[in-house]
Amino acid sequence: NPPAEKYEYQAEVSRLMDLIVNSLYSNKEVFLRELISNASDALDKLRFLSVTEADLLKDAVDLDIRIHTDQDNGMITITDTGIGMTRQELVDCLGTIAQSGTAKFLTALKESKDAGTDSNLIGQFGVGFYSSFLVSDRVVVSTKSPKSDKQYVWEGESNSSSYTIREETDPENLIPRGTRLTLYLKRDDKGFAHPERIQRLVKNYSQFVSFPIYTWQEKGYTKEVEVDEDPAEAKKDEQDEKAEKKKKTKTVVEKYWDWELTNETKPIWLRNPKEVTTEEYNEFYKKTFNEYLEPLASSHFTTEGEVEFRSILYVPSIAPTNKDDIANPKTKNIRLYVKRVFISDDFDGELFPRYLSFVKGVVDSNDLPLNVSREILQESRIVRIMRKRLVRKAFDMILGISMSENRDDYEKFWENFGKYIKLGCIEDRENHKRLAPLLRFFSSQSEEEMISLDEYVENMKPDQKDIYYIAADSVTSARNTPFLEKLLEKDLEVLYLVDPIDEVAIQNLKEFKEKNFVDISKEDLDVGEKNEEKEKEMKQEFGQTCDWIKKRLGDKVASVQISNRLSTSPCVLVSGKFGWSANMERLMKAQTV
């Protein structure tokens, strides 16, 4: 027998194990969710790779997960027929941390000061393989990758800084492919080996796993057995022949053990939307995307005709914490399936434009080839049609939030994703009509609560033609600008553009419902108050004053003019019609620094 080799964990792993054990002690059962999710990932990987390498499936075993419990010995065995691990992969995957779910957990721990007390929150994160030590003294992972002709055994103990790897030699333990994980439960946790408890946990945690999960269950069937007759009874029976026959047999229950299918494997998106509850959609979202907050909205739909696909889309309730994400469309937010086979979640704008990259969801198509590659995705007409439909559905879903009775919902959306919508105004001309109604701004008549462009238009004066706006760095400075005076006097509403990107977004839109956006800080603002006689008079009276001021200021200003745009301030600095507004200038400066 080749000897077992001993390895030290990467330092972070030991720390992580301590953290897991200390913060999740009251939520131990998550170990099962983690191990099942790993098994399911391994099956997904195998199924995906086998599309191009049919050889991987040569050991014809079903793709499934089996959980065996041994109550007497306090053991649980979880077996999958997935991709397995080579010796090197065992070292890389189970001795170091570079994995997404685990990394997310660590970040969350750092952010939450009293992680120890809020174990519930942390229980929602994927904490991965090491959670097996929450309930186990010893964990044995026996695994066979189709890439290797040998099977290897990884063995680790709780509270140890090292683990071992050896080759599997016992013919009894050989598996054709995949991974078998054996947990030797701690004394106080042996209750997890109760078959009914495991069954309940599987039902609770793994209702969306798309591979069959079998648990080892005691079953019974009834059977008739003959019994000896009681002489007294026999006498009575002489009078009743029918009864006599019955009395001679008895029904007993015969017990035996067998695998029982424990989960529903039909993916939620294939079900009839009428039969899926909001709770189920939300659960699916949380499990699929490792989220702990409910989504703000969801949309489940099927498209037919030219291209057929099914999809469930979600709007998360908070923006990604990583601020760079707005410019980064690679979010792993859309999971693409082809005929239920998971293909990829690694997209770069193929299915959604980058400003909608915050939308999460699953898309399942029957029209794409299973071995769809990046190139196919980029060039496929089918994908282009899918993208168009998905984008429309996403807009419908967001519009739905804005129409919700609960105004808070859209406020929340806007707070988190307003920037993305504004980015859309700049980048996606084609969808201006869908984007514009989603915008929100403060205004001279609504400084506390943001209004929509529709609300602005409804509030326009009968003879008002344009939509007025002023860009400033805050509501207060917008309110105090002298440009506003005349408009306030005439009771005209002015939008306050207080986010630097607002002005660019509005300028890209150009118009809304055939009304132009007009910057009130620009020269020659016309608020419908031309009095040519009076203007002439003023020009004569103050013409020289203007010339004198221009001379004194020289190149600092382009011109000095008489204007009727103010009512109480004596003068104002305005931007030229074709120049940058003061705000834009500030923005450009900020960007070039």
Q: CB under 5 to 8 A by kind: which of Mg ion, ligand ADP, none does 329 bind?
A: none
Paired with 221 in beta bridges are 254
Q: CB under 5 to 8 A by kind: which of Mg ion, ligand ADP, none does 83 bind?
A: ligand ADP
Q: What is the dihedral of CA 388, 390, 396, 402, to 10 degrees?
A: -120
CB of 374 to ligand ADP, least distance (A): 22
Tally of CB atoms within 10 A around 89: 16
Q: Is 583 annotated as a binding residue?
A: no
Q: Which is nearer to ligand ADP, 30 or 487 (CB)?
A: 30
Sort strands 511-512 and 441-443 into parallel, antiparallel or unpaired. unpaired
Alpha helices, DSSP H only, in 195-289?
195-205, 231-237, 241-247, 278-289
3-state secondary structure of 196: helix
Q: Is 543 annotated as a binding residue?
A: no
Tally of CB atoms within 10 A around 150: 12
CB of 581 to ligand ADP, least distance (A): 49
Give the angle subtended at the CA of 485 by the CAs of 479 and 487, to the nearest 5°.
Answer: 100
Member of 128, 178, 195, 316 binding Mg ion (CB under 5 A): 128
Q: Of the listed pieces 8-16, 128-136, 217-225, 281-289, which binds Mg ion according to CB under 5 A?
A: 128-136
Q: Which is nearer to Mg ion, 38 or 357 (CB)?
A: 38
Residue 448 to residue 58: CA distance in whole angstroms: 66
Q: Is 123 annotated as a binding residue?
A: no
Q: Is 331 annotated as a binding residue?
A: no
Q: Is 417 annotated as a binding residue?
A: no
Q: Of the listed pieces 89-97, 127-135, 179-187, 555-563, which binds Mg ion according to CB under 5 A?
A: 127-135
CA 329 vs CA 345, 347, 482: distances in Å: 12, 8, 41
Sort strands 178-185 and 75-80 into parallel, antiparallel or unpaired. antiparallel
Q: CB under 5 to 8 A by kind: which of ligand ADP, Mg ion, none does 436 bind?
A: none
CB of 138 to ligand ADP, least distance (A): 17
Residue 26 to residue 7: CA distance in whole angstroms: 30
CB of 175 to ligand ADP, least distance (A): 12
Stated length of the chain:
593
Q: How many CA atoms lie within 13 A of 125 on its CB side?
A: 23
Q: Is 538 annotated as a binding residue?
A: no
Dihedral sign for Cα atoms in the order 297, 302, 308, 310: positive
Q: Is 386 annotated as a binding residue?
A: no
* DSSP string of 417-432, one letter each residue: HHHHHHHHHHH-GGGH
Q: Which is nearer to Mg ion, 123 or 128 (CB)?
A: 128
Q: CB under 5 to 8 A by kind: which of Mg ion, ligand ADP, none does 39 bind?
A: ligand ADP
Q: CB under 5 to 8 A by kind: which of Mg ion, ligand ADP, none does 359 bind?
A: none
Terminal Cα-to-Cα distance of the chain (whole angstroms): 67
CA 498 vs CA 471, 472, 581: distances in Å: 6, 5, 13
Residue 469 to residue 123: CA distance in whole angstroms: 48
Q: Which stretch of DSSP H or E encloses residue 297?
A: strand 297-303
Q: How many residues bind Mg ion (CB under 5 A)?
A: 2
Is 206 a binding residue for Mg ion by CB under 5 A? The answer is no
Q: Which is nearer to ligand ADP, 107 or 476 (CB)?
A: 107
E-strand stretches of 474-582? 494-497, 511-512, 515-519
Q: Which is nearer to Mg ion, 23 or 38 (CB)?
A: 38
Residue 452 to residue 392: CA distance in whole angstroms: 20
CB of 38 to Mg ion, least distance (A): 4
Q: Which is nearer to ligand ADP, 104 or 586 (CB)?
A: 104
**22-51: b (≥16 Cβ within 10 Å) or e:** ebbeebbbbbbbbbbbbbbebbbebbbbbb
Tally of CB atoms within 10 A around 231: 7
Q: Is 460 annotated as a binding residue?
A: no
CB of 453 to ligand ADP, least distance (A): 44
Q: Is 547 annotated as a binding residue?
A: no
- Residues in region 24-53 near Mg ion by CB under 5 A: 38
Q: Which is nearer to ligand ADP, 85 or 509 (CB)?
A: 85
Q: CB under 5 to 8 A by kind: which of ligand ADP, Mg ion, none does 179 bind?
A: ligand ADP
Give the angle subtended at the CA of 399 by the CAs of 439 and 328, to the nearest 5°.
Answer: 65
CB of 101 to Mg ion, least distance (A): 5
CB of 284 to ligand ADP, least distance (A): 18
CB of 97 to Mg ion, least distance (A): 11
Q: CB under 5 to 8 A by kind: which of ligand ADP, Mg ion, none does 100 bind?
A: ligand ADP
CB of 99 to ligand ADP, least distance (A): 3
Q: Is 34 annotated as a binding residue?
A: yes
Residue 500 to residue 429: CA distance in whole angstroms: 20
CB of 93 to ligand ADP, least distance (A): 3
List residues binding ligand ADP (CB under 6 A).
Answer: 34, 38-39, 41-42, 80, 82-85, 93-94, 99-102, 126, 128-129, 179
Q: Which is nearer to Mg ion, 102 or 521 (CB)?
A: 102
3-state secondary structure of 38: helix
Instruction: Tell me the residue number closest to ligand ADP, measured at CB.
Output: 128
Q: What is the dihedral of CA 409, 413, 415, 419, to 10 degrees?
A: -160
Q: CB under 5 to 8 A by kind: which of Mg ion, ligand ADP, none does 80 bind?
A: ligand ADP
Q: Is 128 annotated as a binding residue?
A: yes
Residue 99 to residue 129: CA distance in whole angstroms: 10
CB of 34 to Mg ion, least distance (A): 5
Say if residue 271 is exposed, middle or buried (CB neighbours under 10 Å; 0-12, 13-18, 19+).
Answer: middle
Q: Which is nearer to ligand ADP, 69 or 179 (CB)?
A: 179
Q: Which is nearer to ligand ADP, 13 or 334 (CB)?
A: 13
Q: Is 347 annotated as a binding residue?
A: no
Paired with 250 in beta bridges are 225
What are the residues binding Mg ion (CB under 5 A)? 38, 128
- Binding residues, as ranges, are 34, 38, 80, 85, 100-101, 124-129, 179, 374
- Binding residues for ATP, as ranges, are 34, 38, 80, 85, 100-101, 124-129, 179, 374
